[in-house]
Amino acid sequence: MAHSSRFKITDALLIVMMILPLLTAIVIKILTNPESEGIAISGALVYFTIPMPKWDLPITESQVNSWLIMISILGLCLYLTHGLSPKAETKRQHLAEYIVTKTEELVHENMGEFFSGFAPFIGAILALSAFSSLSSLLGIFPPTSDLNVIAGWAILVFILITYYKLKCGFGYYIKSFTEPIALLTPFNIIGEIATPVSMTFRHYGNIVSGSVISALIAAGLRILSSWIFGWLPGAIGEFPFLRIGLPAILSAYFDVFSGCLQAFIFSILTMINISGGFDFDIYTARKNKKLSKKQKVN
């Protein structure tokens, strides 16, 4: 299928939109990364602080990288959906349709037909979490290694959980804390609060632990290499031979497999917690009751 020059230019601009934000993050990392010797495990850098009436607002490395990654994901989505046709004729359209189909199936299996509109939201969570973790492969600070970023996602999910519970009525929401018996009310309240907390620490803990383990093993291999080959003359003795290969294998697990796995787990927990607190039968009965009252009044 032949494309016009305008179509090709748009494609090129979308590719630039995908790559440029990541290159920007790499350049910022190089320019702001403080020099350190040995093992250096630290959180996100604070670039500057905006004075606010109550609390000052710090602009951190994780916030900037999050926005750059979201712009890159937006460019990818626009690229995959550029030039759509009724019948898929390009590989990118086949890929786009495959992603949409699989996401809709995932949402339908875990949330049911009522929540079919959640497919874009779940797809966004999967993409943002996975790409944020994978960004460490480029040497930039992954936003998923910042507790505040994950906590923000979990709080948003908690708001949605509460919203859909309240759709069944305020009385249903209050009653849910007293089940199966009123004696368990304090524990149910704690369990409600624990949902976003557990989602936050599960995701954050797995990502950060992988980064820490990788850094410690890489530093240990460097020291061991120096002990074994330090007797060799010049730069050859200083070269970390033992760091060749094994760190890459660890990165394949902690950065790629574990990062994608945690993104999948977070999205699954999001779907289960939102749909699990929603009773479709009570919602339908309440909706029909309101409709019948409205018809009587009219």
Q: What is the DSSP string of 153-180?
A: HHHHHHHHHHHHHHTT-HHHHHHGGG-S
Which of 203, 116, 193, 115 is closest to 158 using CA atoms?
193
Whole-angstrom distance, CA of residue 100 vs CA of residue 111: 16
Q: What tokens does 9 get?
A: 């230019």
Element (H, E) at 49: strand 46-50
Q: Along the 298 residues of the chain, how does pLDDT read in single tens digits?
A: 557 888 899 999 999 999 999 999 999 988 887 665 555 566 788 888 998 888 888 899 999 999 999 999 999 999 999 988 888 778 999 999 999 999 999 999 999 889 999 999 999 999 999 999 988 888 888 899 899 999 999 999 999 999 999 988 888 888 888 888 888 888 989 988 999 999 999 998 888 877 777 777 767 777 777 777 666 666 665 666 555 656 666 666 777 888 888 999 999 999 999 998 888 888 888 888 888 887 777 6
Backbone angles phi, psi at 48, to 5 degrees: -160, 170
Burial status of residue 20 (CB atoms within 10 A of its CB: 0-12, 13-18, 19 or more)? middle
pLDDT of residue 40: 57
Q: What tokens does 47 get?
A: 């670039």
Q: What tokens does 124 get?
A: 């966004």
Whole-angstrom distance, CA of residue 263 vs CA of residue 127: 8
Q: What tokens does 44 get?
A: 């996100």
pLDDT of residue 298: 64
- What pTM does this model have? 0.84
Q: Classify 46 as helix, strand or coil.
A: strand
